[in-house]
Amino acid sequence: MSGKLRCAIAGCGGIAQVHARALKNMPEAELLAFADIIPQRAEAMAEKFGGRGYGSLEELLDHEQIDVLHICTPHYLHTPMAKTAAELGINIFTEKPPVIDRGQWAELCGLGDKARVGVCFQNRYNGSTRALGGLLASGEPGKILGARGFVTWRRDAPYYTESGWRGSLKTEGGGALINQAVHTLDLMAYFLGAGRVLGASLANRHLKGVIEVEDTLEAALDFGDARGLFYATTAYSVDAPIIFELTCENVTLRLEGERFTRFWKDGRVEQEDFTVSASTVPGKAYWGSSHQRCIEDFYRCVRDKEPFMNDLPGVSDTVELMLSIYEAARGC
């Protein structure tokens, strides 16, 4: 595929701004249009970034010829919109989560070769993540024995009540895990592969009567030779840096935000800081700094017809683990 890839964005909330800025920085992309059920939001995006605004995805697709659709809508719409675009041969780049239940996952996987589907698990592209992966690939750390993931963020009632869709199982699919901590779970599945849930629980600690999804979740996981511990809450006081840690035979590897620390068994402690200046990162710092890298790589893979790291097979371990944790925690 040669020339620019024509693209559009469905959903014009906060995360759409990040996608739009990334696309405007890419010479290989031509951002043509925006769609939102609140037409004024789509028109505001079009005025800010160029292109045209529409009041629905269907209207956009009736008027625009595009190669890639970015899906930045509420969770429950990701799979239906992906199916609509794929039926027209349009490639899809979707925000997380790609699905909210097993039915949607089956539908998404059933798209086959109709279109390329990429998922925005951008933290795989962080400098700290790549450095950790490179060290593991060298063999120096030895076998992975265990993994821990901790996400302690803050979400108060207005975050849910003012959105129109968050806090509802039907539209959000879940809470702290599927919405906030799934990126950290993705790192665990990315490095350790398919996992088995030993046990899980969820609770609503601070927003009882406001939301029906969890604000706190914990899970014990089995990755064969390694055990995993996962904890996520949105009941904390601030959005603290995530902690992701791998305990290996020769070293403990810890990511805290984008700081990468190695605690060697011989007593050495090494640290690298991959944090990007807040002034250069669109959106919120705790989203990670790598939306641009992830989107650029998807476009490169579409253009060159190469496999994309975050295609459906590439994220299947994460999705299966997320769904299995919810099933165990809900007693399904």
Q: Flag whether pLDDT at 275 surpasses 70.
A: yes
| Boundary of a domain, candidates 77, 92, 121 | 121
Let me know whether 133 and 268 are in one domain: yes
| Boundary of a domain, candidates 76, 101, 121 | 121
Instruction: Give CA separation, 149 vs 194, 218, 273, in Å.
Output: 16, 10, 19
The pair of structure tokens assigned to 263 is 């605690």
- Which range marks the domain in which residue 93 is found? 5-121
Number of domains in the chain: 2
For 121-131, how does the pLDDT look when each residue is reduced to its tens digit (9 = 90+)? 999 999 999 99
Taking residues 40-60, what's their average pLDDT?
98
Identify the helix (H) or strand (E) that includes residue 39.
Answer: helix 39-49
Q: Flag whether pLDDT at 284 surpasses 60.
A: no
Give the pLDDT score at 280: 56
pTM of the model: 0.95
Let me know whether 110 and 255 are in one domain: no
Taking residues 134-151, what's their average pLDDT?
98
**Strand ranges inside 109-215, DSSP E:** 117-119, 144-152, 196-203
Give the pLDDT score at 125: 97
Distance CA 7, CA 14 (A): 18
Let me know whether 19 and 160 are in one domain: no
Q: pLDDT averaged over the chain?
A: 95
Residue 286 lies inside a defined structural domain of this protein: no
pLDDT level of residue 332 (50, 70, 90 thresholds): confident
For 175-228, how does the pLDDT look when each residue is reduced to its tens digit (9 = 90+)? 999 999 999 999 999 999 999 999 999 999 999 999 999 999 999 999 999 999
| CA count, 13 A, side-chain hemisphere, 286 | 15
Let me know whether 113 and 161 are in one domain: no
Taking residues 140-145, what's their average pLDDT?
98
Give the pLDDT score at 325: 98
Least confident of 18-27, 197-206, 268-277: 268-277
Let me know whether 143 and 261 are in one domain: yes
